[in-house]
Amino acid sequence: MGLRRPVVRRCALGTIAALSVATSASAQWPQWRGPGGHGISTERNLPTEWSAATADKPAVNIQWKTEISGRGHSSPIVSGNLIFVTTAIKGKEVPGRKAQEHLKFDYTPGYIHPDAVDIEFEHALKVFAVDATSGRIVWERTAYNGVMFDDRHRKNTFASPTMVTDGERAYASFESAGLYAYDFKGNLVWKKDLGEIIKAGLGPGTSPIIYKNLIILQCDQEMGTASYLVALDKKTGDEVWRASRTTRRSWATPLIVNSGTRDELIASGAEVVISYDPATGRELWRANGTQSHPIPSPVSTKGLVFLTAGSQAKVVMAMKPGGNGDLKDSQELLKWRYNKGAAYVPSPIAVGDYLYLLSDAGLMTCIDAVTGERKYEGGRVPVPGTFFASPVAFEDKILLTSEDGDSFVIKAGPVHEVLQTNSVGEPVYTSPAIANGRIYIRGEKHLFAIGKP
């Protein structure tokens, strides 16, 4: 008996510690596409059915919805019991204000995108903290209020980059309007002017990521003459390193991977894809890029990194990190390539053995991640639509959400199967977050919490 009681106590403490770690992990969706930027949740027993209330039926599995003023395409992030999102609220007109001059592909000035709008208006850029249990707005802060540096695409917003958190502070990037660090009580800890970031008048989109003590941002712009990566000390906002780039404008968020012997920061680019040491900014290797403006972010599985683009051309590349030097004229790192199925906006998702592509029209392609063998292509959802949001995954399911607010639960694996169709009842342009046993979806007007009673 004397020996058993300490053992039981140690087991109990171990169980409590394990539960504490599990609870902590489940309460985190800390950045664009969640832990590691992969879009994959380890939570189980999540709801697969939900619907908005109608005149004759109550809502199903929608625990709360909270109005978020303004427009924002930043996806929700979650830390503990707080959800963070950003928004842009259109203000007064500033007559006579003109957009920045943009370069054509021949590097001459004069490029004007037909869908570029809003340079002549002031905007208030705000950060919201929302209680994850109740949906109550805990605090909101105005990070910036004034004129914008450049236009935006009419479907984009000035609050499109997703925030990132380290569990103590939440960081909001508005690109040309600055980077802001808030503690969880809403106090502004520091702010950083990132300078002019021009993207053909189409607006922001690249999200910040955290690596150890650093906040890292990919700031590719125009035709590449002023592109760069920058790392800031997350405690102070001071610049730690900067790497100049010559790649043209992109909206992709970089990805941290481990190649077996080192961490690598993979930054997609139209001309080149480059791997950096995330601690120092030193270039490790470079290879041929997507040859299209990268809007989708890289993903990884099975030791490979997958880069896609769908603007000027449909491109999917599987690459093996771990190289050294300039490999642009070499096929050393390229494992396979596919020239269909890539989206203009949504990022792919890599789950287990497979890479899944989602086209802007909602067609899915499943590819063996290692061999590049197509398992299926042209997998359709039952309700036609267009897609802005990137897929997320949980258990053996992939969740797609269309601009109409319809969500489709797809069975993961080499055979396309739609398990469930749901809707929140309003347009959706952002990717879901999964934490605390709930799926959080940001609609055009509201933030929704979807969970079992």
Cβ partners under 8 Å of residue 137, min gap 6: 66, 128, 129, 130, 131
Contact 39, 427 (CB under 8 A): no
Q: What is the pLDDT of residues 186-203, one digit of tens each?
A: 999 999 999 999 999 999
What tokens does 66 get?
A: 């909270």
Does residue 275 surpass a pLDDT of 80? yes
The confidence score (pLDDT) of residue 36 equals: 96
The confidence score (pLDDT) of residue 22 equals: 39
**Dihedral over alpha carbons 199, 285, 301, 28 (to 10 degrees):** -60
Instruction: Classify residue 184 by its DSSP letter.
Output: T
What does the alpha-carbon distance between residue 193 and residue 414 come to, in Å, rounded to a whole number? 46
Characterise 19 by phi-psi region: left (phi > 0), alpha (psi -120 to 50), beta (else).
Answer: alpha
Neighbours of 4 (CB within 10 A): 8
Mean pLDDT (the chain) is 93
Rounded to whole angstroms, the maximal C-alpha distance in the chain is: 85
CA distance readout (Å), 285 to 107, 262, 341, 435: 26, 13, 27, 35
How much is the average pLDDT of 56-68? Answer: 96
Contact 50, 62 (CB under 8 A): yes
Q: What is the pLDDT of residues 13-25, one digit of tens each?
A: 343 333 333 345 5
Contact 74, 161 (CB under 8 A): yes
Does residue 365 surpass a pLDDT of 80? yes
Does residue 367 surpass a pLDDT of 90? yes
The confidence score (pLDDT) of residue 21 equals: 39
What does the alpha-carbon distance between residue 270 and residue 276 come to, in Å, rounded to a whole number? 17
Higher pLDDT, 24 or 228: 228
What does the alpha-carbon distance between residue 434 and residue 38 come to, in Å, rounded to a whole number? 12
β-strand partners of 317: 307, 337
What does the alpha-carbon distance between residue 97 and residue 148 come to, in Å, rounded to a whole number? 10
Does residue 1 surpass a pLDDT of 80? no
Higher pLDDT, 234 or 331: 234
Long-range contacts of 309-315 (CB under 8 A, 24+ apart): 309/268, 309/270, 309/342, 310/342, 310/343, 310/344, 310/345, 310/359, 310/360, 311/344, 313/339, 314/339, 314/340, 314/341, 314/342, 315/290, 315/291, 315/339, 315/342
The confidence score (pLDDT) of residue 2 equals: 38
Reported as half-sphere exposure (CB side, CA atoms, 13 A), residue 75 has a value of 32
What does the alpha-carbon distance between residue 80 and residue 197 come to, in Å, rounded to a whole number? 33
The confidence score (pLDDT) of residue 25 equals: 57
The confidence score (pLDDT) of residue 181 equals: 98
Higher pLDDT, 411 or 100: 411
The confidence score (pLDDT) of residue 5 equals: 36
What does the alpha-carbon distance between residue 411 and residue 425 come to, in Å, rounded to a whole number? 23
Closest alpha carbon to 438 in 164, 129, 46: 46
The confidence score (pLDDT) of residue 321 equals: 97
How much is the average pLDDT of 355-365? Answer: 97
What does the alpha-carbon distance between residue 180 and residue 210 come to, in Å, rounded to a whole number? 14
Does residue 308 surpass a pLDDT of 80? yes
What does the alpha-carbon distance between residue 382 and residue 418 come to, in Å, rounded to a whole number? 8
The pLDDT-based confidence of 329 (bands split at 50, 70, 90) is confident
Q: What is the pLDDT of residues 120-177, one digit of tens each?
A: 999 999 999 999 999 999 999 999 999 999 999 999 999 999 999 999 999 999 999 9
The confidence score (pLDDT) of residue 18 equals: 38
What tokens does 279 get?
A: 């601690």
The confidence score (pLDDT) of residue 437 equals: 95
**Beta strands across the sheet bearing 446-450:** 62-67, 446-450, 438-442, 433-435
pTM of the predicted model as reported, rounded to 2 decimal places: 0.93
The confidence score (pLDDT) of residue 245 equals: 97
